[in-house]
Structure formats: C-alpha cells, structure tokens
Amino acid sequence: MRNRDLNTEIIRQINGRKSFFSGWALLVVIALFVASMISWAAIAEVDEVTRGSGKIISSQDLQKVQTMHGGMIKKLLVHEGQRVHRGDLLLVLDTTASQSEFNQLEQKQFALQAQIERLTAEIQGSDLVFSPGLEQSAPAVTLTQQRLFKGRKSELVSELAVLEQQKQQKIKELREAESELHTASEGLVLSQSEIDMIQPLVDRGIESKLSLIQLQRTHAELQGKQQTSQIRIERLDLALGEVAERFKTMHETFRKEALQELSKATAELAELEQSLPAYASKVDQSEIRSPVDGIVNQILKTTLGGVAQPGEALVEIVPIDDDFLVEAHIKPADIGFLHPGQRVKVKLTAYDFARYGSLDGELTTIGADAIELPETKEPVYPVVVRVFSHLTDAGGNDLEIVPGMIAEINILTGRKTVLNYFVEPVVKVKKNAFTES
C-alpha cells in the first residue's frame, strides 16, 4: 500500500514539473514572437503619404470656338457631351451674302488682271496673250479686254495711216519741188550762157537789144522759180518733220495712256488682293470646325436661324489629349511637407482600384495661399498633379480618361517604419498630456 502511494506521488511530481516547463516554453515563444515583430516593425518601412481629392482636368485650356465674321446659323451638327476630333464639323453658317461679295470681288480681280495684261501688251507692242487659267476663269472678261485691245490698236493704226498718207503726200510734193528746182537751176545755166553769148553782139550792134532783154526776162523768171522751189522744199521739209513728230507723239501718247491706266489698275489690284483674303475667310468660315480633340462641353448658340455676331463664342470644347492633369485640394495641416517633383499615386473613382490599379504622376504646382471650398467653406491648398501613365483593361487597351472624373491622390512625402506609426500617437498623447487646451 505504501509503495503504491509512493509511486502515485512520484508520478504527480513529474507531471507538475512537465506543466511548469511547458508554461515557460510558451512564454518564451510568445516573447520571441513579440520581439521579432517589434524588430520587424522597427526595420520595415512603408510609404508616408499625404492624401487629397480633386478631379481630372485637361492640360489645355477650355476651347471656345468663335466665328470671326459672324453669320446666320444654318446647321448644328453636334450635341453637348459628344466627343469630337480635330477638324470635325460643328456647325454651318449661312454666308450667302459673303459669297456674293466674294464673287464680285473675284470677278473684279479677274478684270483687273486681264486689263493689266492688255495694257502691258499695248506698252510692249506685242500680241495679247492672257496668262494660263485666266481665260478659263473669266472668259467674258478676257473677251472684253481682247476686243478693247483690238479696238485701241485699230484706232491707233487708223490715225497712223492718216499721218502716213500726209507724209507720202508731202514726200510727193517735195520730189516735185526738187524737180522744179533742178529744172530751174539748169535753165538758169543755159539762160546765163545765152546772155553771155548775145551780150557782145548787142554791144557791137549786130543783135538787137530786145533779144537781150527777152533773155534777161527769161533768166529772171527762172531765178524766181528757183527761189520758189527752194522755199517750197524748205517748207515741205518742215512739214515732213512735223509729221514725223506727230508719229512719235501719237505713239508716246498711246503708251503714256496705257502706262497711266496700268499704274492705276495695278494699285487697285494690290488693294483688292489685300482685302480679298478677308472675304475668302468669311466664305471659308461658313463651316465651323473643332480646333482640338475633345468633348463638347456647352453649345452657346443653339437657335437655327439665329445670327452669330463677329467674334462671338458658339461652342465650348474640353480638350482631350494624352497629357492629363489632376486639380486637387490638400488640407493646410498636410501642406508643410509637399514640394514640386514628389511622386503621386492617382486613383480614379470611375475605375475600381483593386481591378485597374492607379495612375502614376508628379506634383507640379502648389498654391501660394489657401482658398475656401465653396461647398464647405473649408480652407484648402490647391495643387496640380501631372499624370504620365494610363489605366488598361484586361485586354491591355487604354481606358478612356476624360476631364471631370473624380480622383483621389496619394502624394509620397517619404518613408517611415511601421513602429513609428504606433509610437507617434503615443508621443503626441504624452506631449499633450496635462496641458490646458
């Protein structure tokens, strides 16, 4: 009996010692686990972020599409919220009046060009050949100038022909006068010979004095004819000189008139060509097109038949490009550790973060002063983040990001250990303990 009790006591003591050692082992394991967790928390680092909220904005300003010259709205081809591409037709203006004015000016331009080419041919004395395309563009104008060219040339030729007739008549008369002068001169020589021969005979009484007087009369008549012919020749020479001068004057007058008209036409054409692009622009701007890729934000003139004034904005377009910005707000308490260049993670509420991830960005601008949010009157600092990555779907296709999407931003301001996250609240409580608020 005593031996049985002794064995029971020994077994009980052994079991007690096992329980004692098992408890200590558990405490050691727990202590080691806690120590390892503290060591890990003291070493492991996580990102320290400053959070804010905002929305996607375009890197370009809101585009207000205007009409330079105005006009009546004929067609409206887009609606608010519609996505458009650069060059897409937005609306059409009725520019009938502008088209009519442009056509009139264009016809005047053709007329001046044809007139200049006609006057140039008249000045140069060449045939009239219009520049390529002018006859096709304005056949009636070129036909009129061709007729005018022929008419003026025919008039000049007729006037010159009259002068030529006068010239030939004077030449004929000159030749007759020269012939008469020659005849008179030869007659004078013969008459003088006869006088010289009969004079001695008269002196000796062999020949009557009457014969000498008749010869002397004939000689005097021939001298008169000679002088008359000489005077006539001089007069005809002067007349021929005058005719030649009239020839020259007529050519110079014709050319001078053409030069004056050419100078005037050239000046008118230069003035017209300066104003013509403005009228062409009026016609071309009957079609109002989008200047950028974007989304129609607002149509400012919706009434068909309504009149748009020159310079009036008709459509607002929010630009869409590959370079987006996030305009966000940060609480004043978090602004102290921010500076441009910090990395930013951007989450879009339109796309599930767990499925599509976040966008990478960079803090570019920090507001110089706080502003109040209109809704809450809460003071915040405006910041701007430039986004330089894309979100993709399961197929690897870029997801559409448009201005106005709500975004949450996490600005990476640094790194700190996990232990600091637990210690900092305790330190703050300790510093603020037993202080009067």
- Residue 265 resides in a domain: yes
Q: Could you tell me if 166 and 238 lie in one domain?
A: yes
**Nearest Cα to Cα of residue 288 among 95, 90, 87, 83:** 90
To 10 degrees, the CA torsion angle through 231, 232, 235, 240?
Answer: -140
Q: Could you tell me if 125 and 141 lie in one domain?
A: yes
Please give the pLDDT value at position 437: 47
pTM score? 0.46
User: Which domain-ending residue is among 269, 285, 301?
Assistant: 285
- Domains identified in the chain, total number: 2
Q: Could you tell me if 281 and 298 lie in one domain?
A: no
Residue 1 to residues 4, 5, 11, 13, 15, Cα–Cα distance (Å)? 5, 6, 16, 19, 22
Q: Could you tell me if 188 and 251 lie in one domain?
A: yes
Q: How many residues in total does the chain contain?
A: 437
| Contact between 94 and 118 (Cβ < 8 Å) | no
Q: b/e for 293-332, b at 16 or more Cβ within 10 A?
A: bbbbbebebeeeeeebeeeeebbbbbbbeeebbbebbbee
Q: Could you tell me if 51 and 123 lie in one domain?
A: no
d(CA 274, CA 291): 26
- Residue 189 resides in a domain: yes
Q: Could you tell me if 152 and 208 lie in one domain?
A: yes
Q: Could you tell me if 412 and 334 lie in one domain?
A: yes
**243 residue type, one letter:** V
Please give the pLDDT value at position 70: 72
Q: Could you tell me if 229 and 303 lie in one domain?
A: no
User: Which domain-ending residue is among 260, 285, 310?
Assistant: 285
- Residue 430 resides in a domain: no
Q: Could you tell me if 297 and 156 lie in one domain?
A: no
- Residue 24 resides in a domain: no
- Residue 7 resides in a domain: no
Please give the pLDDT value at position 419: 55
Please give the pLDDT value at position 379: 92
User: Which domain-ending residue is among 256, 285, 314?
Assistant: 285
d(CA 295, CA 292): 9
What are the backbone angles phi and psi of residue 435, rounded to the nearest 5°? Answer: -115, 150
To 10 degrees, the CA torsion angle through 119, 124, 130, 134?
Answer: -40
Q: Could you tell me if 118 and 244 lie in one domain?
A: yes
Q: b/e for 267-279, b at 16 or more Cβ within 10 A?
A: ebbeebeeebeeb
The residue range of the domain holding 320 is: 46-68+78-84+293-424
Q: Could you tell me if 147 and 272 lie in one domain?
A: yes
Q: Which residues of the chain have pLDDT under 70?
A: 1-26, 35, 37-47, 95-99, 278-285, 321-322, 414-437
Domain CATH code at residue 376: 2.40.30.170
Q: Could you tell me if 252 and 329 lie in one domain?
A: no
- Residue 23 resides in a domain: no
- Residue 281 resides in a domain: yes
- Residue 146 resides in a domain: yes
**200 residue type, one letter:** P
Q: What is the 3-state secondary structure (H, E, C) of the chain?
A: CHHHHHHHHHHHHHHHHHHHHHHHHHHHHHHHHHHHHHHHHHHCEEEEEEEEEEEEEECCCCEEEECCCCEEEEEECCCCCCEECCCCEEEEEECHHHHHHHHHHHHHHHHHHHHHHHHHHHHHCCCCCCCCCHHHHCHHHHHHHHHHHHHHHHHHHHHHHHHHHHHHHHHHHHHHHHHHHHHHHHHHHHHHHHHHHHHHHHHHCCCCHHHHHHHHHHHHHHHHHHHHHHHHHHHHHHHHHHHHHHHHHHHHHHHHHHHHHHHHHHHHHHHHHHHHHHHHHHHHCCEEECCCCEEEEEECCCCCCCEECCCCEEEEEEECCCCEEEEEEECHHHHHHCCCCCEEEEEECCCCHHHHCCEEEEEEEECCCCEECCCCCCEEEEEEEEECCCCECCCCCECCCCCCCEEEEEEEEEEEEHHHHHHHHHHHHHHHCCCCC
Residue 84 region, left (φ>0) first, then alpha (ψ -120 to 50), else beta?
A: beta
